[in-house]
Structure 1
Amino acid sequence: MLYKEYANKVLDELRHTLTAVDQESAKTFVNLVEEADEVFCAGAGRSGFQVKGFAMRLMHMGISSYVVGETCTPNIKEGGLLVICSGSGETKSLVNHAKKAKEMNAKVAIITINPKSTIASLADVVVEISAPSPKSEKQGDVVSIQPMGSLFEQSEGIFMDIAIMMLMERKNMTSDTMFGRHANME
């Protein structure tokens, strides 16, 4: 295939997964982020990279956000929200994070392929991304030409960017107002 053929196929896959996300789950996810005192973000591998980008955008909005596992991340407590990105919903370290969050009376949100996973059973909201992954028994309802879990990882990142856009609208923010918090020690 030529580059443009690959590009069009990938865009079709993304259109399918992103438009299949349940509207109420997306709304609940955004509500939980907006209501949280602090947002803690966790994921492993490429999902971890995606959720770090979400934490950064929350910071740009002036929302207290942290990446679980970083040395400057405080403890989670009641009023906090843990956002987990996990295709399988079974990654042991992330299951432990979810259990700790619930133990502290914090909320948990998961973006996953598997709405019947251990983490999903602990979550206050489950955002299901219907994409295949070699780590999940549930494979979504689209066959991807992309390797491994790429479609899920791309979709979760774009979903979180859309959630940021929804928050920006609610808070009457623009890219210009957010840019004031952009790093200046680069």
Structure 2
Amino acid sequence: MNNQEYAKIILNELNQTIPHIDVDKAEQMKQLILQADEIFCAGAGRSGFQVKGFAMRLMHMGLKSYVVGETCTPNIGKDGLLVICSGSGSTKSLVCHAQKAKDIGAKIALITIDPDSPIAQMADVVIEISAPSPKSAKAGAITSIQPMGSLFEQSEGLFMDCMIMMLMEAKHMDSDTMFGRHANLE
């Protein structure tokens, strides 16, 4: 197969995930972000890369956003929101982050494949993305030609971009207003 044929298959796979995300849950996540004093973003591996992009876009909107584990990330408080991206919802380090946030009284939003995972049990809102992954409890329910958890990682990235657009609409922002916060030390 060539790249165009693979692209068509991948786009068809994404069409099985993104349009099926619960609209009410997405709205709940948007409200949690708008109500939070600060937003802390966490993920491991490729999900971690995706959530870092989300933290950047939140910063472009003028929101206080941080990536968990970075050296300049402050402590989370009771008015903070922890956004976790985890296909399995059971990555040990992320479970520990969720428990710490819960103990402090912060809110938790989880983007995951498994809505019954340990992190999901602690979360205030769970965004379920039905995608296959080697670590998924639902392996085999949806198939993908892509390796490992690629479909989930792409889907979570696209969902977070959708969330940014929902937040932009709520805050009456556009790309031009956001670009004013783009990094200038490049």
Cα distance in 1 between the residues matched to 2:61 and 2:168 = 8
Number of residue-to-residue matches in the alignment: 186
Q: Any conservation in 2 of the 1:17–1:129 contact (CA below 8 Å)?
A: yes
The 1:50–1:140 alpha-carbon spacing in structure 2 relative to 1, beyond 3 Å, is farther
For 1:43 and 1:110, locate their aligned partners in 2 and report how far apart those are by CA, in whole Å.
10
Residue of structure 2 equivalent to 1:9: 9
Question: In the alignment, what sits opposite 2:102?
Answer: 102
Identity of aligned residues (%): 70
Gaps of 5+ in 1: none
Mapping 1:1-186, distance limit 5 Å: 1-139=1-139, 141-186=141-186
Q: Following TM superposition, by how much is the alpha carbon of 1:2 offset from its aligned partner in structure 2, in angstroms?
A: 2.2
1:29 Cα deviation after fit:
0.9
Alignment check: 8 A CA contact 1:130 1:139 kept? no
CA contact (8 A) 1:40 1:82 kept: yes
Q: Aligned partners of 1:34, 1:17: CA distance in 2, in Å?
A: 25
- 1:102–1:120 distance in 2 versus 1, CA, 3 Å: same
Deviation of 1:92 (Å): 0.3
Alpha carbons 1:113, 1:139 under 8 Å: kept: no
Letter in 2 for 1:107: K
The structure-2 alpha-carbon separation of the partners of 1:121 and 1:180, relative to structure 1 and needing over 3 Å to count, comes to same
State which drifts further: 121-130 or 2-11. 2-11
Amino acid at match of 1:63: L
Partner of 1:137: helix, strand, or coil? coil
1:129·1:140 contact (CA, 8 Å) conserved in 2? no
> Hey, what's the Cα distance between the residues in 2 that align with 1:141 and 1:153?
17
Kept in 2, the 8 Å contact 1:25–1:126? The answer is: yes
Superimposed CA distance per residue, residues 118-167 of structure 1 (whole angstroms, 9 cap, x where no aligned partner): 00000000000000000122237421010000000000000000000000
Letter in 2 for 1:73: T
Aligned-pair CA distance for 1:173: 0.3
Change beyond 3 A, Cα 1:5–1:138 = same
Amino acid at match of 1:24: D
CA RMSD of aligned residues (A): 0.8
Equivalent-residue separation in structure 1 for 2:21 and 2:46 (angstroms): 20
Contact map agreement 1:130 1:140 (CA 8 A) in 2: no
Query: What is the TM-score of this pair, normalised by structure 1?
Result: 0.98
Unmatched 5+ stretches in structure 2: none
Partners of 1:52 and 1:4 in 2: CA distance: 28
| Deviation, structure 1 residue 16 | 1.2
Q: CA deviation at 1:73?
A: 0.4
Structure 2 letter corresponding to 1:35? Q
